[in-house]
A and B are shown apart, each in its own frame.
Chain A
Amino acid sequence: AQTVTQSQPEMSVQEAETVTLSCTYDTSESNYYLFWYKQPPSRQMILVIRQEAYKQQNATENRFSVNFQKAAKSFSLKISDSQLGDTAMYFCALFSGNTPLVFGKGTRLSVIA
């Protein structure tokens, strides 16, 4: 069975600073995909970044980047130059096999002015 674990229920960061959100996962599949979703107070789920397991290079999207450690089954999200609009719940998710995405329980991030 696939699992996704986010061990930090809540985090906070000062505006303009950098923060890293942790995610570990488990799957027996060799080919899989990992995602980070953002859910701001509006509760709209937004795809932030996507990583294909067979790609060594870490994905980046503007201020968002990941640290993908395949052997350790770790997939952390780094947010640089944090902005107030980054305040949200962040979910890590895994797709492997032929099953729906498996989501972690989320990390609530607060950006403080």
Chain B
Amino acid sequence: SQTIHQWPATLVQPVGSPLSLECTVEGTSNPNLYWYRQAAGRGLQLLFYSVGIGQISSEVPQNLSASRPQDRQFILSSKKLLLSDSGFYLCAWSLAGPRYGYTFGSGTRLTVV
């Protein structure tokens, strides 16, 4: 069966520090991968998605970047965090053309101080 792992679960980082959040999927090949951000009590904002290795689509121009160095690995990064980067980050995967929906990771709560 397919599983998705996302870490860390919680992170407190100072302003100006770098960020690296990692997401890996097991049990499937060539998944579509997604990064979302969710402010407290709010909806989901799509940040990046990838349909293959090295293929990244950015939905929101901002302080973040994403990379997909391996088929089932998706990394969200920042060189210098801002206070506004605080939030809950969710990774998800789907089959090509998500007609069966997404499976989400357990999320990372990021607080920038």
Residues of B within 8 A of A89 (CB): 41
Report chain B residues within 8 Å CB of A106.
Answer: 42-43
Q: A33 vs B32: C-alpha distance in the bound complex, in angstroms?
A: 17
- Do A45 and B43 touch across chains, with their CB atoms under 8 A apart? no
Chain A residues within 8 Å of B49, by CB: 100
Q: In angstroms, how far is the closest chain B Cβ from the Cβ of A71?
A: 22
B97 at interface by CB-CB < 8 Å = yes
Q: How many chain A residues touch B (Cβ–Cβ < 8 Å)? A: 21
Bound-state Cα–Cα, A37 to B94, Å: 14
Contact B107 A44 (CB under 8 A): yes
Distance in angstroms between the alpha carbons of A52 and B44 in the assembled complex: 22
Residue of A44, A98, A103 near B44 (CB, 8 A) is A103
Residues of chain A within 8 A of B41, CB atoms compared? 89, 108
Does any Cβ of A come within 8 Å of B88's Cβ?
A: yes
Q: Do B90 and A45 touch across chains, with their CB atoms under 8 A apart?
A: yes
- The verdict on B106 contacting chain A, using a C-beta distance below 8 Å, is yes
B110 on the A face (CB < 8 A): no
Tell me the complex Cα distance, A43–B87, Å: 12
Does B7 touch A at the CB level, under 8 Å?
Answer: no
Q: Chain B residues near A37 (CB, 8 Å)?
A: 101
Q: Does A105 contact B (CB under 8 A)?
A: yes
Interface residues of A (CB under 8 A from B): 33, 35, 37, 43-45, 47, 50, 52, 89, 91, 93, 95, 98, 100-101, 103-106, 108
Q: Can you show 19 pairs from A to B with CB atoms below 8 A apart?
A: A33-B99, A33-B101, A35-B101, A43-B38, A43-B88, A43-B107, A43-B109, A44-B106, A45-B92, A47-B101, A52-B99, A89-B41, A93-B101, A100-B49, A100-B98, A101-B101, A103-B43, A106-B43, A108-B41
